[in-house]
Structure 1
Amino acid sequence: MGVITEVIIGYLRPNSGLCLMTLKSLSYQVDNQAESFIADQKLAHYAKIPQRSVFRGQLIAVFFQCLTALCVINWQINNIPGICTDEAENHFTCPKDVNFYSSSVFWGVIGPRRIFSGLYPILKWCFLIGFLLAPLCAALKRYFPKYTTHFEPSLIIGGMLQYAPYNLSYLTGGLYASYAFMHYLKKHHARWWEKYNYVLAASFSSAVAFSAIIIFFAVKYHPKPISWWGNDVLDLGVEGGEGQQTLLNATSVAGGYFGPRKGDLP
């Protein structure tokens, strides 16, 4: 939904990154929030919570969320030095927000017309490749069920999209938990799984939210050193700076920049 929106808006309003970000936020978030609403209603159904009560809770939560998020963002911008840069403290590098901004430049400022016509002409064929892969996967599931029992392309592709632009260390623990609950417990302890799995999943999500707030104000806002693998891994690799130092500086290449030369631009 996000990429399709970006391509359409990029064609309709080229050379306008701000326009793309605004319309993308409206179009994508409406669909995304609708899916989240349905997911919450499904969870409430399994947890035996009245649907109307869930709906009222969602409305109240969204109202306070909008006000809280706006206040927090403004506070962060005004009080965290170097926010959304590599120099920011406590890893406030804003990978999702930087990715959102990069998309606005890629699809809004440069525009899909220049991208598909000159910069990356092969890229447009990826849409056709993706379209053709759908019936191919369906045929494999239909005619080779013995070998494709656990092959679900929609889950594989959707799962890969969830972690970007983070690295796999952010989700590796979730893979183990998913295997334990969605395979082992469901297969060997089905009655327990049917009664408690969805309630436990909701409690885990709530615990993560509350613990994030407590951890931030307890050991992050006024930093206290706590050294163990789960904390130190964030400082390793490209994300932490060790890899950043080895990246090639753009000024050292011919012309001082990467990409097509000026005479090759569309």
Structure 2
Amino acid sequence: MVPEHAISNMLCRVFGWNVDAQADSIIGSQKLAHYAKVPPRAFLRAQLLATVIQVLITIVANEVLTHSFDDLCSPDQDNRFTCPFPNALYTATLVWGVVGPRRIFGTLYPWLKWSFLIGTIAGFPLYYLRFFAMKKFPFVKNFNPIMFLAGMSWWNSGYNLSYFIPGFEVSFIFMYFIRRRYLTWWTKYNFVLSAALSAGVALCAVLVFCTLQVTNVSMPWWGKTVSGAGVDGAATPLYTVPEGTTFGPTHWE
């Protein structure tokens, strides 16, 4: 709508995407509460109260972070506040705001625009494959191309494997192993346990902060340090472009 204008692109992304993401999060929490048999009106009141409290806490936290830490959002920040999502947002603003869709699809990556047509056509063979090849390819029944591609997109969000693998392992145990073998237990307790684990993480974060971080007590152990070990824990080195060279073509129309 406003080509080659970074601020307009960023505002559209922030207000458009954030509103949609927060709405999805609220609905997802309500769905989990429904499975956990929490009264819907009581849960909605809790959601609204928690939202108001969270907004105030977030504003204060942002002010403290901005004015209390040096080199905030830099790749080598001492406290690991590298800000992966804001950096990804900044990159997207440059790509789709400064460079613009016309140059991206017309000059830099002209073949990329065919992806829209491929995505539209790909749905038809997958739909009919469910009927004609179900016996030969039973996995097709549970294959959803949209979920498959959306899942792949999470791997470039700036977090390392230690951020995703534990959730995948727990989900596999409860949603596949236990659900197939202990369906009665799964039906009665699975989503209650999920809500309890989420609440437990939040309460433990407050407890650890009040008892250890405020008093500067350090308790190093493997479960705390493994996520920062090795290549995954190191800051990603930035590639320095040699003088006189550029990424992609040297110019575009």
Deviation of residue 96 (structure 1)? 1.1
SS at match of 1:101: helix
Percent identity of paired positions between Structure 1 and Structure 2: 34
Structure 1 contact 15–110 (Cα < 8 Å) conserved: yes
Q: CA separation of 1:135/1:22 partners in 2, compared to 1, >3 Å: closer, same or farther?
A: same
The separation in 1 between residues aligned to 2:214 and 2:127, in whole angstroms, is: 48
Q: Which has the higher contact order (CA 8 A, sep 6+)?
A: 2
What does the per-residue CA deviation read over 1:188-247, in whole Å, with 9 as the maximum and x for residues that have no partner?
111110011111111112222333444466359958472526523434326514x62xx6
- TM-score normalised by length of structure 2: 0.87
> Counterparts of 1:1-266 in structure 2 under 5 Å?
12-146=1-135, 147=137, 148-165=140-157, 166-215=159-208, 218=212, 222=216, 224=218, 226-228=220-222, 231-237=225-231, 240-241=234-235, 244=237, 248-251=239-242, 255-262=244-251, 265-266=252-253
- The 1-side partners of 2:248 and 2:14 are apart by 29
Question: Could you list the per-position Cα deviations for residues 46-73 of structure 1 after superposition, in whole angstroms to 9, with x for gaps in the alignment?
Answer: 2221111111111111122222112111
Q: Distance in 2 between matches of 1:43 and 1:101?
A: 33
Q: Distance in 2 between matches of 1:221 and 1:149?
A: 54
Asked if the contact 1:163/1:170 (under 8 Å) is kept, the reply is: no
Range with bigger deviation, 76-85 or 37-46: 37-46
Separation (CA, whole Å) in 2 of partners of 1:101 and 1:179: 34
Counterparts of 1:198 and 1:57 in 2: how far apart (Å)?
A: 18
State how many pairs are aligned.
248
Instruction: Provide the C-alpha distance between the structure 2 equivalents of 1:225 and 1:261, rounded to a whole number of angstroms.
Output: 52
Evaluate the alpha carbon distance shift between residue 232 and residue 151 of structure 1 in structure 2; reply closer, same or farther with a 3 A threshold: same
TM-score relative to the length of structure 1: 0.83
CA–CA distance in structure 1, aligned partners of residues 161 and 98 of structure 2:
30
* CA distance, structure 2, for counterparts of residue 222 and residue 98 of structure 1: 30
Structure 1 residue ranges without an equivalent (≥5): 1-11
Gap runs ≥5 in structure 2: none
Alpha-carbon distance between aligned partners in 2 of 1:238 and 1:40, rounded to the nearest angstrom? 31
